[in-house]
Homo-oligomer: A and B are copies of this chain.
Amino acid sequence: MADDVGTPGAVPVAGNGLLGRRALLRGGLGGAALLVPGFTGAAERPPWMRAPGTGMREYGAPSPLEAHVRRVGIASQPGTDGSGASRTPLELLEGTLTPNGLHFERHHSGVPAIDPGAHTLLVHGLVRRPLTFDLDALARYPLETRLQFLECSGNSAVNILSPVPADQPCGVIHGLVSQSEWVGVPLGVLLEEAGLRPEARWIVAEGADAAAMSRSVPLEKALDDAIVALYQNGERLRPENGYPMRLFLPGWEGNMSVKWLRRLRVTDRPAMTKDETSKYSDLLPDGTAELFTFPMGVKSVITRPSRGVGLRERGVYAISGLAWSGAGRVRRVEVSADGGGSWAEATLEPAAAPKALQRFRIAWRWDGGPAVLLSRATDETGAVQPTRTSILEARGRNAFYHFNGIQAWRVDADGSVANHYA
């Protein structure tokens, strides 16, 4: 194969091997393909072409050879098996959507086995007419689509809680973020149907799990882009994601998108539930606590290469990662291959919507030496993803929610990759 150094377009754009956009567009990445010298005809047919294959299935499943692609970092509170989380294996996926079977989970008292025919949503409080809606009733309202991310506010916290870099893959560290096409009824339509009273300012959403997960949501958000989601990536919500209905609040911390939604109480003030006071609040160094920290910050992470997804040999690779912001679209992602000494702008796929995951990519020629890979996102409001150090200095080690610090991956001479604090 041709040496990539001689490839048209393989122009260095930052230190330690980052290459310009044309290197990704034109091929010529060098060494990846195998030359077939003197090829004259089709290769011998492999065994699976010599007999008919298997038939159709009512509901498909991944290849058994992909059984390693599963949720990771599964952990529960002591004495429970359902008060905990599982994470999306980001480093084994591509694109921006998460298959429903791999969407992260975060439950406060397990997954309730809800009979959808017996489940209703109650809208009451500061409304003119308290109403209940069953699934058939909701199906008659206009549905809208939200192809957007959902991120747990505790995502990536290990990178601030652990004094040394956790020896874990990308999904265990950052896999409390997933993306789906959520489809449901705009919350504003249901509130209008019930008739908001003039003093209405907040909505208290309650789930039908044993924890009765409850969060207060400002009315402005409820009337902006909130939906009561009924479908996830085309089909009904999965049980672990709120079947048969959940709140979905684009861009806001995941626990507010209350699953198994049974009740919306309209109020004039927040309810100060256990889930927004004892949890999901952040203790700051001065002894005060931050409450109601709703939007998720601007963030990015390189998913390949990353720990467990290393490099085979020196040569050119496509670095691939995800970027997102709870404030809107990501405008720019910069990548460094020399630990922050120099940066180059990655190619960024357009967002399906504001507050959606976006893929970024950049070509990188690995020369076989050590390297530290970083990515840094900037969103359309101008917010820039901060460093881990700056977050620690500003917020201390107790404020572990909403951690969006830059992720560093250290590449060693054998091509292996490790979590690293830059």
Contacts and interface: CB of A to CB of B under 8 A. Distances in A.
A110 B140 contact: no
A39 B100 CA distance: 37
A68 B86 CA distance: 27
Contact of A95 (B81, B99, B233, B361): B233
Interface in A226-268: 230-231, 233-236, 238-240, 243-244, 262-263
A57 B36 contact: no
A82 B131 contact: no
A368 to B, nearest CB: 15
B240 A43 contact: no
A62 interface: yes
Contacts of A192: 26-28
Contacts of A240: 56-57, 60
B53 A82 contact: yes
B55 A59 contact: no
Contact of A132 (B33, B49, B113, B317): B33
Nearest to A73: B56
B143 A94 contact: yes
B235 A66 contact: yes
A132 to B, nearest CB: 5
Interface stretch (A204-212, A216-224, A369-377): A204-212
A134 B141 CA distance: 49
A25 interface: yes
A285 interface: no
Q: How many copies of this chain are found per oligomer? A: 2
A262 to B, nearest CB: 8
Most buried by B among A84, A140, A147: A140
Contacts of A85: 56
Interface stretch (A114-122, A324-332, A384-392, A404-412): A114-122
Interface stretch (A101-109, A273-281, A288-296): A101-109
B94 A234 contact: yes
A56 B105 contact: yes
Interface in A45-99: 45-46, 48-63, 65-66, 69-71, 74, 76, 80-86, 92-99
A133 B59 contact: no
A208 B48 contact: yes
Contacts of A60: 71, 100-103, 105, 238-240
Contacts of A244: 63
A345 B192 CA distance: 25
A69 B235 contact: yes
Nearest to A142: B24
Interface of A: 24-29, 32-36, 39, 42-43, 45-46, 48-63, 65-66, 69-71, 74, 76, 80-86, 92-103, 105, 107, 109-116, 118-120, 122, 124, 129-134, 136-143, 145, 147, 181, 183, 189-190, 192-193, 206, 208-210, 212, 230-231, 233-236, 238-240, 243-244, 262-263, 304, 312, 315-318, 320, 347, 349, 352, 359, 361, 363
Given A59-B62, A97-B181, 15 more contacts: A32-B138, A34-B131, A34-B133, A36-B131, A46-B114, A52-B80, A55-B84, A92-B235, A95-B143, A97-B234, A98-B234, A99-B235, A102-B234, A142-B318, A233-B233
8 contacts: A27-B190, A32-B140, A34-B131, A43-B120, A53-B110, A59-B101, A93-B234, A143-B320
